[in-house]
């Protein structure tokens, strides 16, 4: 039986209880913010639904579905859930009449490198990167219908990345790898408030302007050291292990061309301040 489509909403967001979803909720909670519908397996959300169950009998009509959900760790079987979620998400988007669906991929699909563009051949360096690349391949294999699908190759999000727990935990020192040239990791990042703006703007684009894949990043990369310093935390260096990756940076020119009216923060201090403002809004 087909799901009934009721009132009109612009965005439906899956994975609302994850780290990125939590930050987006805070970024959009002001009176001028958008009012998306949030979907989660459990907890507080507008729609409670677990992928694999029958779709809810009543679903909102929405222009855009944004898939934040995904498996970030675990066994290869656990990570394979990222592919399964593509098909559940596509079914959800069709049931809601969505014209576009944004899938969160990751810079991890590229592997090490600098100024990586959407046309750079992927060379994932870890299981997570391979899982996200398999997710992208599943998106490309979806049958053509009225929903336009776009994979967002997301940079590290300040406050939701591997560095965030150390920055959030008390006032103790933060450990970083130091490489042979005396410097630490260099990464592309984006402030969480900026990510909120980017997603809203992409949800307003005509679907035929959305590319199949898109880097989502601040204009310039930052060092993890600069983020630690901007957070006013002491730093302890440790020798980088042989398998450590020193640099993964994205070219954001395609995003800038699509959304030239957006100013994205490009310094560690501005990104940390953005995150802290959302933490205080909790």
Beta bridge partners of 213: 151
pLDDT of residue 175: 95
Q: How confident is the model at residue 75 (pLDDT cuts 50, 70, 90)?
A: confident
Tens of pLDDT, residues 11-50:
999 988 889 999 999 999 876 678 889 998 888 888 888 8
pTM: 0.93
Work out the average pLDDT over 72-78.
84
Mean confidence (pLDDT) of the chain: 91
Per-position b or e across 164-177, b if 16+ CB within 10 A of its CB: bebbeeeeeebebb
Full DSSP string of 88-152: HHHHHHHHHT-SEEEEEEEGGGT-SEEEE-TTSPP---SHHHHHHHHHHHHHHTSPP-S-EEEEE
Torsion-angle region of 15 (φ positive above 0: left; ψ -120 to 50: alpha; else: beta): left
What is the structure's pLDDT at 52? 85
Which residues, in sequence order, are bridge partners of residue 264? none
Distance between CA atoms of residues 6 and 155, nearest Å: 35
| Range of weakest confidence among 56-60, 142-146, 163-167, 177-181 | 56-60
Instruction: Kindly report which listed range (79-88, 114-123, 162-171, 172-181) carries the lowest average pLDDT score.
Output: 162-171
- Identify the pLDDT of residue 247: 95
């Amino acid at each position: 039986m087909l799901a009934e489509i009721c009132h009109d909403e612009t965005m439906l967001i899956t994975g609302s209880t994850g780290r990125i979803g939590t930050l987006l909720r805070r970024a959009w909670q002001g009176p001028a913010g958008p009012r998306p519908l949030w979907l989660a397996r459990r907890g507080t959300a507008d729609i409670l639904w677990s992928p694999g169950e029958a779709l809810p009998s009543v679903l909102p009509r929405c222009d855009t579905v944004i898939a934040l959900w995904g498996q970030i760790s675990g066994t290869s079987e656990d990570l394979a859930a990222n592919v399964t979620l593509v098909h559940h998400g596509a079914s959800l988007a069709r049931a809601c009449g969505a014209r576009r669906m944004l899938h969160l991929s990751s810079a991890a699909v590229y592997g090490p490198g600098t100024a990586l563009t959407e046309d750079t051949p992927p060379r994932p360096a870890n299981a997570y990167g391979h899982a996200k690349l398999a997710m992208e391949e599943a998106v490309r294999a979806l049958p053509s219908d009225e929903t336009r699908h776009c994979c967002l190759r997301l940079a590290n999000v300040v406050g939701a990345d591997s560095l965030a727990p150390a920055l959030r935990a008390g006032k103790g020192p933060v450990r970083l790898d130091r490489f042979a040239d005396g410097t630490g990791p260099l990464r592309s990042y984006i402030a969480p408030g900026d990510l909120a703006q980017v997603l809203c703007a992409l949800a307003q684009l005509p679907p035929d302007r959305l590319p199949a894949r898109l880097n989502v990043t601040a204009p310039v990369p930052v060092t993890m050291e600069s983020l630690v310093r901007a957070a006013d935390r002491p730093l302890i260096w440790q020798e980088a292990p042989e398998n450590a990756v020193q640099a993964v940076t994205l070219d954001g020119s395609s995003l800038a061309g699509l959304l030239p009216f957006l100013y994205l923060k490009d310094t560690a201090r501005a990104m940390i301040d953005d995150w802290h403002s959302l933490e205080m809004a909790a």
